[in-house]
Amino acid sequence: MSRVGKKPIPLPKGVKLTIGKELLVEGPKGKQTVPIPEGVSLRQQDGHLELQRDGDDKAALHGLTRALAANAVQGVSGGFTRELQIFGVGYKCEVKGRIATFTLGYSHPIEFYLPDGIDMRVDKPANNLTPLILTGSDRQLLGQVCANMRALRPPDPYKNKGIRFAGEQLRKKAGKTGASGGK
């Protein structure tokens, strides 16, 4: 049994909460709303946010709401960062404004539009590896944007070329070896 919902959420300085039908979290990096389901109540006291549930049948919603609220508080105060890596000879990315242009070995460049609230920068490439740093205050949106970028050219199983998450463990398949076994 998880006890995530019982853990209080510390509120950093500069974060303002408004509790109503939904939780509105405002901070230096923006504002977010978190839905509050029936049977879960919130209470702000002593620089912490505490959640209570009506009964054990609301345990899953209790933990979910607490996790969403904690992500919103962390997002508006400090933000989130994800790192992707482009691996491959000739594979690159350029960012101009809200448009990221990828060159990934296809016959055409791919333009990727960054949604509002997500910022991206491309670091200097080294050893056929180009790091992409994405930052944003909404954890779910940031993860979805990273997944969509990775889907443009997922790592192939033979040479591991493509876009991958930093620290992602890849399995490399062995290719064909030798002649085809003829006479």
Among 20, 51, 77, the domain boundary falls at 77
Q: Are residues 62 and 96 in the same domain?
A: no
Q: Residue range 15-42: average pLDDT?
A: 92
Q: Please say if the pLDDT value at position 23 is more than 90.
A: yes
Q: Provide the strand spans (E) within the chain.
A: 9-10, 16-19, 22-27, 30-35, 40-45, 48-53, 80-87, 92-96, 99-103, 110-113, 118-122, 129-136, 162-165
Q: Please say if the pLDDT value at position 178 is more than 60.
A: yes
Residue 181 pLDDT level (bands cut at 50, 70, 90): low
Q: Please say if the pLDDT value at position 1 is more than 70.
A: no
Q: pLDDT by residue (tens digit) across 115-146?
A: 999 999 999 988 888 999 999 999 999 999 99
Q: Residue range 47-64: average pLDDT?
A: 90
Whether residue 178 is contained in a domain is answered as no
Q: What percent of the chain clears pLDDT 90, i.e. is strictly above it?
A: 70
Q: How many domains does the chain have?
A: 2
Assign residue 17 the CATH number of its domain.
3.90.930.12
d(CA 179, CA 156): 24
What residues form DSSP beta bridges with 23? Answer: 19, 34
Q: Are residues 84 and 73 in the same domain?
A: no
Position 176 scores a pLDDT of: 83
Task: Determine the structural domain holding residue 115 and report its residue range.
Answer: 80-165
Q: Residue range 80-97: average pLDDT?
A: 93
Whether residue 177 is contained in a domain is answered as no
Q: Please say if the pLDDT value at position 153 is more than 70.
A: yes
Give the torsion through C-alpha atoms of 111, 117, 79, 62, to 10 deg. -110
Does the pTM surpass 0.85? The reply is: yes
